[in-house]
Amino acid sequence: MTTMQPIARRSLLVTPGAALELGPSRIGGKAAALARLTEAGERVPAWVVLPADTLEIHLIAAGEMEHVQRELDALAASAQGSAAPLRAAGVLQGIVDALLLDVGLIDALSEIATTLGGGPFAVRSSAVGEDGDRLSFAGQFETVLGVGGRIDQLSDALRTCWRSAFAAGVLDYRRRSGTLSDAARLAVVIQRLVHGDASGVLFTLDPVTGDRTRMRVSACLGLGEALVSGAVDADEYVIDRDGAEVEVRIAGGAGALESRVLQREALAGLAAMGRRIEEREGGPRDIEWTILDGTLWVLQARPVTSVVRAATTPSEHRVVWDNSNIQESYCGVTTPLTFSFARAAYASVYEQTMRAVGVSEAAIALHRPMLQNLLGLLYGRVYYNLNNWYRGLLLLPAFGRNKEDMERMMGVEEPVDFVTDDAPGFGERLRRLPRLARTTAGLLRAFTTLDRDAAAFLDQFDRHIRDVNRATLGQRSLGELMAILEGLRRDCIERWVTPIVNDFRVMMATGGLRRIVERALPGDAERVMQTLLGGADVAASAGPAMRMLELAA
């Protein structure tokens, strides 16, 4: 590596006051928001930031900047949907791994513990263009929590953040949004970590309905990372602008109200904080917070970039029910007890699937009312709520194509046409890109490992079912039966992602094949599809009808 001249210490460890003067073009969107919060007097854990040009200086000193630029130029010229982002990520992250840290940077890191008053620390990426009104990059860059104060620990965390500047999803997002020129401009925030008693997210409007008179809070015990990663379920509170409760959903259920994460005084404090920040920032905000010993700390605040549009036309109040497919699973009259199990199972399975394909915890929280109403019980029979199934497809790329494929898979004869993607404009499409990129990447990963996952799923499922002694069920007590049911829910229902991923794969593959056949043989597509897919006799559900034909013959 080329020997570097030490970077002046004064160009590093930028404090909040100085960071405010540098602005987001030098310290990234996340640090710029922290600087404004600190300057306004909000309680923010002590922090410093290494400016975005620190990474660029290292690349230049190592003689790698031209190499990086060539890779970015090649990526910009590559075809959409190609593997170019993955290839570029491998090359660029390898360059970052090989960088030698400047002695001036190492000296600066050695002063972190003194500067911030001791650790542990949270080391957060702060990219140029991140957390803006136009682009969010939500969930794209790395954060490392619980970092110790040793040089090697801080250096490893710093390099992890730098690597995330060149992650495949980030590069693809920047290519699509025309911001590849900023790819190497990633600042790094080093912040004292507050081990809160409770943490979460506050939206200063209700993003489920768009109601500006209400706020929505997700909260869990401990660090908020557990909430974001999905390791724990969250309490959900809808509050008015003063913090009074409108709706409450406690993670442990209705019987666990005594174990709620937040009491009313904490909600009032969050509402007051949200009003202050929203007023200063000039619009609705998505705020990460933590509470330690009754003291409220602000960790991040970013613009709310996605809000569910409120119903504006009469058609949006209609609900369309269809049981073309589900009647095979729940035939005849279904009791409320069975329906309650089915509805909870569908909600759990699809929440798992959203998480598996990369949908953020915030987005899952926004869509939880939809997930809990995928089914309906009408006059004793179970139906799909088609409105909500279509709305779920809005989380995936290519809504129109997937809508058509899902209708064919579900046997829907009268499609719903008033749940649409509303032809989003260029700005809205850019705002959606991070979510769609994560979801697409998640689906592709799941499709790649599907054969292996399916074998493991079937093995585990068969093992759990064999463990249930059906012969003795009639003699079991209610408590024993409930324990068996809980075990099956935990071991089977809550591990049902693989069959749903398989459904998506079959749906998309069959739909793609049908479109190819319709273009090639528009007048004979249905017969050709039946031939290509092996004929109706391969379907297990068609078995009784085929046997009846044999008997008749």
Extended strands (E) in 206-354:
214-221, 235-240, 245-249, 285-292, 295-303, 321-322
* Mean pLDDT computed over 42-61: 93
Residue 283 CB contacts under 8 Å (≥ 6 apart), including other chains: 133, 303, 304
Opening angle at CA 80, ends 447 and 449, nearest 5: 10
Tell whether the torsion through CA atoms of 190, 192, 197 and 199 is positive or negative.
Answer: negative
Q: DSSP 3-state assignment of 271?
A: helix
Output the pLDDT for position 341: 87
Tell whether the torsion through CA atoms of 95, 97, 98 and 100 is positive or negative.
Answer: positive
CB 325 within 8 A of CB 408: no
Output the pLDDT for position 254: 46
Output the pLDDT for position 416: 55
Q: Is 42 or 326 the better-scoring residue by pLDDT?
A: 42
Q: What band does 47 get if pLDDT is binned at 50, 70 and 90?
A: very high
* Mean pLDDT computed over 426-437: 58
Output the pLDDT for position 135: 57
CB 121 within 8 A of CB 77: no
Q: Is 258 or 453 the better-scoring residue by pLDDT?
A: 453
Q: DSSP 3-state assignment of 137?
A: coil
Output the pLDDT for position 328: 81
Stated pTM of the model: 0.56
Output the pLDDT for position 39: 94
| Stretch among 30-44, 350-364, 394-408 having the lowest mean pLDDT | 394-408
pLDDT for 348 beyond 80: yes
pLDDT for 464 beyond 70: yes
**Which pair of tokens denotes residue 491?**
């071991």
pLDDT for 167 beyond 50: yes
Residue 472 CB contacts under 8 Å (≥ 6 apart), including other chains: none
Output the pLDDT for position 313: 42
Q: Average pLDDT, whole number, for the chain?
A: 81
Sheet holding 375-378, edge to edge: 321-322, 381-385, 375-378
* Mean pLDDT computed over 440-448: 77
Angstrom CA distances, 68 to 7, 93, 169, 296, 375, stand at: 21, 10, 17, 42, 51
Distance CA(256)–CA(237), nearest Å, equals: 15
Q: DSSP 3-state assignment of 290?
A: strand
Output the pLDDT for position 132: 59
Output the pLDDT for position 131: 62
Kind plus residue range of the DSSP H or E element containing 533 = none
Output the pLDDT for position 429: 53
Distance CA(11)–CA(16), nearest Å, equals: 13
Q: Is 113 or 200 the better-scoring residue by pLDDT?
A: 200
Per residue in 490-534, pLDDT (tens digit) is 888 888 888 888 887 888 888 888 888 888 888 788 788 877 776
Q: Where are the alpha helices (DSSP H) in 40-111?
A: 53-61, 65-77, 84-98, 103-110
Per residue in 15-27, pLDDT (tens digit) is 998 998 898 889 9
* Mean pLDDT computed over 5-33: 80
Q: What band does 216 get if pLDDT is binned at 50, 70 and 90?
A: very high
pLDDT for 397 beyond 70: no
Residue 66 CB contacts under 8 Å (≥ 6 apart), including other chains: none
pLDDT for 9 beyond 80: no
HSE of 483, CA atoms in CB hemisphere, 13 A: 8
Output the pLDDT for position 418: 47
Sheet holding 214-221, edge to edge: 245-249, 235-240, 214-221, 198-203, 285-292, 295-303
CB 132 within 8 A of CB 433: no
Output the pLDDT for position 534: 65
Q: Is 312 or 102 the better-scoring residue by pLDDT?
A: 102
Nearest to 356 by CA among 226, 504, 501, 492: 501
Q: Is 198 or 497 the better-scoring residue by pLDDT?
A: 198
pLDDT for 88 beyond 70: yes
Tell whether the torsion through CA atoms of 480, 482, 484 and 486 is positive or negative.
Answer: negative
